[in-house]
Amino acid sequence: MHFAPYRRVLALPGVKSVLALSTYGRIPPLAGSMVLTLYVVLELKLGFGAAGAVFSASIFGGALGAPLLGRLTDRYGLRPVVVLGTVTSAVFWATAGWMSYPVLLIAGFASRVIQAPVFTISRQALAAMVPEEQRRPAYSLDSVAVELSYMTGPSLGVVIATQMSPQAAIWAVGVGVVASGVGLYLLNPPLRSEAEEAGVGTARIPVRRWLRPGIVAVLLTVAGATFILGATEVVVVAVLEHASELAWASVVLIAWGVCSMTGGLVYGGLRRAPGPAVLMLLLGVTTVLLAFADDWIWLCLALIPAGLLCAPTLAGAADAMSRLAPAAVRGEAMGYYGSALSIGMAVGTPLAGAVVDLAGPSWGFAAAGGSGVVVAVAAMLVSRHDRSAAAASPATPGAEQARAVLAGAEPAGTQPAGQLASASQ
């Protein structure tokens, strides 16, 4: 593992600010999901089923809105979208504590459709600020930032809601969301490089022209990976509850997150790395192996291989998307990436719960990992189709790049980060 690629990425103008703001900006919405769950259960007295419906509505709202917000960002720039999303979120969080359940369900969905794009804007900005040969370590750092946000946000929401009140937690989330929106507005990172800005025309590119099979393969990979992650979280809790060791759940989940961050850092420092679909295939296989763990100690140990693959899979997919999507529609493409993240998580969590109820916790891991393997194979087949089409038409713009990216290699004309380091010394 080499740390020189990270030093070079962090030395680029604006990168540290984008990573810091995106880490903070993801925390309030993640805390908000937990806060709303506790509000429905503790204040409205409607149980976890009703709370889960609010959570699912917000997830699908975010999935629906992400491509729309990305398209608006491509057309009008970042600041107008941030203002619109921040105002919408501020109104929701300022009034959510007085909403009846049906109103909360609808408003929670609508507020996520129109929100400041903090979950995707860092990936779009990194593509503009970081040269292609350095994007793998850049997106690895972003994946580590995501893990930190996920480890911090829900826990912080629980602490505020239980130690103070759900109403106070709702207001705290609102303040945090507004603060992140203001920070994003002031930072206003570039979303295209100067060269890309000069080459982007005014006409919008139709989706059918850029949503090629390679990008579909990336979206399949992302959805499959988060399907596995969402399912794994549920099944870990189920295994520990079955073993009467539920008190150790936070320890196991934190260990899993630390493994993921470690894997992301290792992945970004590699000279060469496999493609995202291959990483997801390995993630699925190692998740199946978790079926043999039946207590918290064995779960911590068994989660090491799967954990090490979580962040690299998502970082590799973000890297591939940044290279395959045309600069003119990169915001919309990253919006679809965000939608795939949300959909995979929203589908994986309840399906894993259903498998656990029907067949037991061990089968939950087997179903999650096995489904991931199937999706990974499908992504590989789609990728192979795109590589074959590119090979048959080598004169097509981006054909050589598509072949390289989908194979997990550096695009033509670039060198791996490690080789660049050697050349510069």
CA–chain centroid gap for 247, Å, is 28
Inter-axis angle of helices 135-163 and 15-38, nearest 10: 30
pLDDT band at 259 (very low <50, low <70, confident <90, very high): very high
16-41: average pLDDT = 90
User: What is the CATH architecture of 207-410?
Assistant: Up-down Bundle (1.20)
pLDDT band at 313 (very low <50, low <70, confident <90, very high): very high
Quote the CA–CA distance of 68 and 408 in Å, as a whole number.
29
pLDDT, position 310: 93
> Which position has the higher pLDDT, 421 or 3?
3
DSSP label of 272: S
Instruction: Calculate the dihedral angle through the C-alpha atoms of 392, 401, 63, 341, rounding to the nearest 10 degrees.
Output: 110
Report the phi/psi class of residue 93: left, alpha or beta, with left for phi > 0 and alpha for psi in -120 to 50.
alpha
Amino acid letter, residue 51: A
251-277: average pLDDT = 89
Alpha helices in 188-271 (DSSP H): 194-199, 207-210, 213-242, 249-269
Report the phi/psi class of residue 413: left, alpha or beta, with left for phi > 0 and alpha for psi in -120 to 50.
left
pLDDT, position 269: 84
396 and 380 in contact (C-beta within 8 Å)?
no
pLDDT, position 388: 55
Helices and strands: H and E segment counts in the chain? 18, 0
Structure confidence by residue, pLDDT tens digits, 389-415: 555 444 444 444 544 554 454 444 443
Quote the CA–CA distance of 310 and 263 in Å, as a whole number.
7
Helix, strand, coil shares of the chain as percentages rounded to 5?
A: 85, 0, 15
pLDDT band at 147 (very low <50, low <70, confident <90, very high): confident
**Number of other CB atoms surrounding residue 84 within 10 Å:** 17
337 and 218 in contact (C-beta within 8 Å)?
yes
Percentage of the chain lying above the pLDDT 70 cut? 88
At a CB cut-off of 8 Å and minimum separation 6, what does 209 contact? none
Quote the CA–CA distance of 154 and 37 in Å, as a whole number.
11
What average pLDDT is seen over the chain? 85
At a CB cut-off of 8 Å and minimum separation 6, what does 43 contact? 97, 166, 167
What sign results for the dihedral spanned by CA atoms 414, 417, 422, 425? positive
254-279: average pLDDT = 89
Amino acid letter, residue 346: A
Quote the CA–CA distance of 209 and 200 in Å, as a whole number.
15
Asked whether the predicted pLDDT for residue 280 surpasses 90, the reply is yes
Percentage of the chain lying above the pLDDT 90 cut? 46
Q: What's phi and psi for 193, nearest 5 deg?
A: -70, 170
Asked whether the predicted pLDDT for residue 352 surpasses 80, the reply is yes
**3-class secondary-structure state, position 419:** helix
Tell me, yes or no, if the two domains 1-191 and 207-410 fold the same way: yes
User: What is the CATH architecture of 1-191?
Assistant: Up-down Bundle (1.20)
Report the phi/psi class of residue 14: left, alpha or beta, with left for phi > 0 and alpha for psi in -120 to 50.
left
229-252: average pLDDT = 86
The structural domains of the chain, with segments of one domain joined by +, span 1-191, 207-410
Structure confidence by residue, pLDDT tens digits, 176-220: 999 999 999 999 999 888 777 776 655 567 777 888 888 999 999
Asked whether the predicted pLDDT for residue 19 surpasses 90, the reply is yes
Quote the CA–CA distance of 280 and 161 in Å, as a whole number.
36
Residue 163 burial (10 A CB sphere; 0-12, 13-18, 19+):
exposed
Asked whether the predicted pLDDT for residue 112 surpasses 50, the reply is yes
Instruction: Calculate the dihedral angle through the C-alpha atoms of 173, 237, 221, 144, rounding to the nearest 10 degrees.
Output: 50
List the single range of 97-101, 166-170, 418-422 with lowest mean pLDDT. Answer: 418-422
Quote the CA–CA distance of 370 and 325 in Å, as a whole number.
29
Instruction: Calculate the dihedral angle through the C-alpha atoms of 212, 217, 223, 229, rounding to the nearest 10 degrees.
Output: -150
Show the tokens assigned to 159.
């602490």
DSSP string, 225-243: HHHHHHHHHHHHHHHHHHT
pLDDT, position 351: 87
